[in-house]
């Protein structure tokens, strides 16, 4: 399965309208944000229409244009494969938005500079990492309806384990497993007992968490036996693989620009942190917090992404106000 064939992000419906800011009409704050150097990660936020995506594109061009020439003078790597001559990552959450960004960057920067930037959506990026680390491994993809059916079957078989007595709902269990266990790449009972579940609809005491962990462990065993995967599973797996690879060989990218960052989960942040080498101008994160798509608030600092003192809010909107009747 290629990056293009990989299942699209479920958040694709959140693709925003781009702000009407041309390549030559950045305002003074936007120009400053694009060119500013940082000792570490930087965060840019703004309401819809303030030109956040345009800033992300200009930032990617700015970083790529400052790179040293490619040895031998050849162009970029083959599409879809990150290498030493494409050290800038431009990532977002959906396949459609990534395609739009790729086209706009080529128009903005030209083929020479755009060829130094790897533009990809986060699901395809996770697939690429897993495929590179485990070539030839085939995976069957698990849809939400099938996942719910598997939870119903598991609950029906675990009456003696306290599952039905606790009143667990299959939809709740699927979301808890997806958002908390996979979302934070939890691999042990102790980690699940300690994790913060901010934003989840039901509080759980220690006994309930312990009971749930047994269900999650059995559910995971059944998926593994059937070689069934969700993209959240794959991202958690890819994050662990990439952290191990980066510890051995260093990070793949010198710089990463992330558009629509509010849509990413903790595990996706773990993957991005492993992909970009910590250092000056390593992560440039663009977000609209009014459009947060993920259910659990994310503490970036806890994931090794410290943006303290390096946040900017865009305030000038270029989106026409709706006419009043």
38-73, pLDDT tens digit by residue?
999 999 999 988 999 999 999 999 999 998 876 544
Contact 101, 90 (CB under 8 A): yes
Banded model confidence at residue 7, pLDDT cuts 50, 70, 90: very low
Banded model confidence at residue 86, pLDDT cuts 50, 70, 90: low
Q: What is the pLDDT of residues 310-325, one digit of tens each?
A: 999 999 887 665 555 4
Burial class (CB in 10 A: 0-12, 13-18, 19+), 195: middle
80 pLDDT more than 50: no
Backbone CA torsion sign across 229, 234, 240, 242: positive
β pairing state of 283-287 and 42-46: parallel
Contact 14, 260 (CB under 8 A): yes
Stated pTM of the model: 0.81
Q: What is the pLDDT of residues 164-177, one digit of tens each?
A: 446 789 999 999 99
Q: What is the pLDDT of residues 124-150, one digit of tens each?
A: 999 999 999 999 999 999 998 999 999
201 pLDDT more than 80: yes
Q: What is the mean pLDDT of the chain?
A: 83
Q: How many angstroms separate the CA atoms of 133 and 254, rounded?
A: 20
Radius of gyration of the chain (CA): 21
Outline where 177-321 has alpha helix (H). 189-194, 206-226, 231-249, 266-275
Task: Give the three-state DSSP class for 140.
Answer: strand
3-state percent helix, strand, coil for the chain, nearest multiple of 5? 45, 10, 40
Cβ–Cβ contacts within 10 Å for residue 319, how many?
Answer: 14
> What does the block give as tokens for 78?
């083959």
Tokens 């060829």 map to which residue? 115
Contact 304, 278 (CB under 8 A): yes
Question: Which tops the pLDDT comparison, 196 or 43?
Answer: 43
> What does the block give as tokens for 111?
């083929």
What is the fold of 20-134+251-314? Rossmann fold (3.40.50)
Q: How many angstroms separate the CA atoms of 283 and 273, rounded?
A: 8
- Phi–psi pair at 109, nearest 5 degrees: -105, -20
Question: Which tops the pLDDT comparison, 84 or 155?
Answer: 155
Q: Which residues fall within 8 angstroms of residue 284, CB to CB, at 6 or more apart?
A: 38, 41, 42, 44, 56, 59, 63, 255, 256, 257, 258
pLDDT of residue 313: 95
> What does the block give as tokens for 117?
């930037």
Domain ranges in the chain are 20-134+251-314, 140-226
> What does the block give as tokens for 187?
């691999």
Cβ–Cβ contacts within 10 Å for residue 176, how many?
Answer: 24
């Amino acid at each position: 399965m290629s990056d293009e064939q990989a299942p699209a992000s479920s958040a694709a419906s959140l693709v925003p309208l781009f702000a009407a800011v041309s390549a030559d009409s950045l305002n003074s704050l936007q120009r400053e944000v694009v060119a500013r150097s940082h000792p570490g990660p930087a965060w840019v936020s703004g309401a819809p229409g303030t030109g956040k995506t345009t800033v992300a594109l200009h930032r990617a061009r700015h970083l790529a244009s400052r790179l040293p020439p490619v040895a031998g003078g050849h162009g970029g790597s083959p599409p879809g494969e990150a290498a030493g001559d494409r050290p800038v990552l431009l990532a977002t959450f959906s396949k459609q938005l990534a395609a739009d960004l790729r086209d706009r960057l080529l128009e903005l920067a030209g083929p020479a500079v755009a060829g130094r930037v790897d533009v990809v959506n986060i699901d395809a990026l996770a697939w690429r990492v897993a495929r590179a680390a485990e070539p030839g491994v085939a995976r069957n993809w698990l849809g939400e309806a099938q996942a719910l059916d598997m939870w119903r079957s598991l609950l029906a078989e675990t009456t003696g384990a306290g599952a039905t007595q606790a009143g667990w709902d299959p939809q709740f269990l699927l979301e808890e497993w997806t958002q908390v266990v996979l979302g934070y790449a939890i691999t042990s009972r102790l980690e699940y007992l300690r994790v913060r579940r901010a934003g989840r609809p039901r509080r759980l005491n220690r006994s309930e968490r312990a009971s749930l962990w047994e269900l999650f462990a059995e559910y995971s065993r059944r998926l593994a036996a059937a070689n069934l995967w969700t993209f959240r599973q794959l991202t958690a797996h890819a994050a662990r693989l990439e952290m191990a690879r980066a510890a051995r060989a260093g990070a793949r990218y010198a710089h990463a620009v992330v558009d629509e960052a509010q849509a990413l989960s903790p595990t996706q942040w773990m993957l991005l942190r492993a992909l970009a080498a910590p250092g000056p101008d390593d992560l440039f994160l663009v977000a609209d917090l009014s459009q947060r798509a993920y259910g659990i608030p994310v503490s970036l600092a806890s994931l090794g992404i410290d943006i303290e003192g390096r946040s900017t809010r865009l305030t000038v909107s270029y989106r026409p106000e709706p006419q009043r009747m």
